Amino acid sequence: MRFRTLAALGAGFLLASMAACSDAGGSVAEPDGSASGAGGAGAGAVGTGGGQTTSSAGQGGSTASSAAQGGQAAVSSGAGGSAGAGGMDPPPSEDDLYVAPDGAEDNPGTLDAPTTLYKAVTLVQPGQTIYLRGGEYLYVPTVEIAHGNDGTPEQRKRVYAYPGEEPVLEFKDQYYKKGDPASPRGVELHGSYWHIKGIEIANAGDNGLFISGHHNVIENCVFHHNRDSGLQLGGRLGELETPEEEWPSFNAIVNCDSYSNYDPPDGGDADGFAPKLNVGEGNEFHGCRAWNNSDDGWDMFNRNGKPLKPVLLDQCWAFDNGYEEGGYMSTPPPVPYMGNGNGFKMGGSNGLASDHVITRSVAFGNKVRGFDENNNIGNITVKNCTGWLNGSMNFAFGEGGCHTFINNISHARKSGDEPVGTQVSNAFEGATDADFLSLDRALAKAPRNPDGSLPETDFLRLAPTSQFVNAGSAEGPALPYSGAAPDLGAFEVQ
């Protein structure tokens, strides 16, 4: 049984107050522990210098601490902005391994005699770093980090771009045929306690990066034009064969971009990020962007009677998915793919419940829906998110779940939203263009900051005079705010 109580608030938007779901008890869903924390001063960081990943968040920062350490994350963040990158990384040394586009398999992996990435991942020891020199690596076989090839909680194994250089793993010559399991992936990470940073992966025959291991950090990486999802989490032994206790867990994806992934001929399966089918506890995405993917920006599809464990997304942007270029109502008209075209697809298969959490995130210009429950009958928590100009609904949560909505803004969608569940301080009606500093969609693709964090632009940020400033609630996952109360939407006015 569901009911909704709505009251008008101030300048034309709606405060949905205490609209209860009988199976939710009126409380805010949180993943395996309280979602709490606060940011301090300074840039957000994910540090791995000592091996164990820790995070500190500050102005413009969002943390990914507990996924890497083994606990479900609180949303602990700095005021505004996105997840910071960097941390106390060790500088290159003669004890590390070096890889170059012209590296030789028989070389020892020194700076003067670099080896290949295929060889380096078999040689690297816990606490050691593999440095990839800049340039294009024309690779064909999958780079496999085997199951059991692990770092430790204290000393990770690392694969980093050499400082100041841009390595690109280019798999354009890989075999591809849609539906053929022989189509190879670019990189497979079956090991645990790895940190991969600053790598670009393109044109793989399947996923750019597939992760089945645990406690890994993927930071400042780019995935594009792969012929399935850019990055996927899944079972090492296959969707049906992998036991639930081996599903990938406690992985943190931080400040990564995934775009223009497409599986010909129909484009029905290539997402930006795909934590789907077999996903264990404690996986998180922070400060990531997904655009122009042929299917969805994020796909959290459930199947085979086993729901995904809760996934946390914080400060993530999904836009223009389902289109080859441009987005809904862009000029010139966009070229559509045959995929679904959702921003954040957060379910799949009737009767399965996954209590995902998404905070401070943006969905706009997607072919169909911005934020979509997709038959998830659980309690998804959606807090401080902004949906704008999606092809149908910005918020589509009316297919069987009973969800929680706090401080969200919906503006300029094609059809009415369906936010079924507990509602606190949302604006699903009443927003105007004047509430925002800028609606220039091109700003969403602006270059990232030098530390890898999301660009700080005026796009979809509230004007200081907006009716939504200081109009929110502090209920639910704890997020920092300035002023008398939280603002609505994905960006806090400073």
Per-residue pLDDT tens digits for 356-402: 999 999 999 999 999 999 999 999 999 999 999 999 999 999 987 89
pLDDT above 50: residue 38:
no
List the structure tokens of 454.
Answer: 């999301």
- Reported in sequence order, the residue ranges of 321-416 that DSSP labels E, i.e. its strands, are 344-345, 357-359, 362-364, 371-372, 381-383, 386-388, 395-397, 403-406, 409-411
Q: How confident is the model at residue 138 (pLDDT cuts 50, 70, 90)?
A: very high
Gyration radius of the chain's alpha carbons: 21
Which architecture, in CATH terms, is 45-400?
A: 3 Solenoid (2.160)
Render pLDDT for 421-446 as a digit per residue (tens, 0 to 9): 999 999 999 999 999 999 999 999 99
Q: Any idea where the domains of the chain sit in the sequence?
A: 45-400
Render pLDDT for 174-198 as a digit per residue (tens, 0 to 9): 999 998 999 999 999 999 999 999 9
List the structure tokens of 462.
Answer: 């509230």
pLDDT average, residue stretch 439-456? 97
Confidence (pLDDT) at 21: 55
What b/e sequence results for 223-261 when a residue is b if at least 16 CB atoms lie within 10 Å of its CB, and e otherwise?
bbbbbbbbbbbbbbeeeeebeeebbbbbbbbbbbbbbbb
pLDDT above 50: residue 294:
yes
- Per DSSP bridges, beta strands 13-16 and 6-9 are antiparallel
- In whole angstroms, give the CA distance from residue 431 to residue 434: 8
pLDDT above 90: residue 216:
yes
pLDDT average, residue stretch 136-151? 98
* Residues with Cβ within 8 Å of residue 215, at least 6 apart in sequence: 67, 68, 69, 70, 153, 192, 193, 249, 250, 251
Which uninterrupted H or E stretch holds 66? helix 65-69
Sign of CA dihedral 154, 160, 162, 164: negative
Contact of 287 with 255, CB cutoff 8 Å: yes
Report the residue count for the chain. Answer: 494
Tell me the catalytic residues: 345
* Residues with Cβ within 8 Å of residue 478, at least 6 apart in sequence: 35, 36, 37, 38, 74, 75, 76
Q: Rounded to whole angstroms, what are the CA distances from 65 to 47, 104, 216?
A: 9, 37, 11
pTM value surpassing 0.75: yes
Contact of 447 with 255, CB cutoff 8 Å: no
* Phi, psi of 168, rounded to the nearest 5 degrees: -125, 120
Q: Please name the amino acid found at residue 466.
A: S
- In whole angstroms, give the CA distance from residue 15 to residue 168: 48
Contact of 330 with 284, CB cutoff 8 Å: no
Q: How confident is the model at residue 60 (pLDDT cuts 50, 70, 90)?
A: very low
Sheet holding 317-319, edge to edge: 135-138, 167-170, 200-202, 222-224, 257-259, 289-291, 317-319, 362-364, 386-388, 409-411
Q: How confident is the model at residue 231 (pLDDT cuts 50, 70, 90)?
A: very high
The neighbour count for residue 88, using CB atoms within 10 Å, is 10
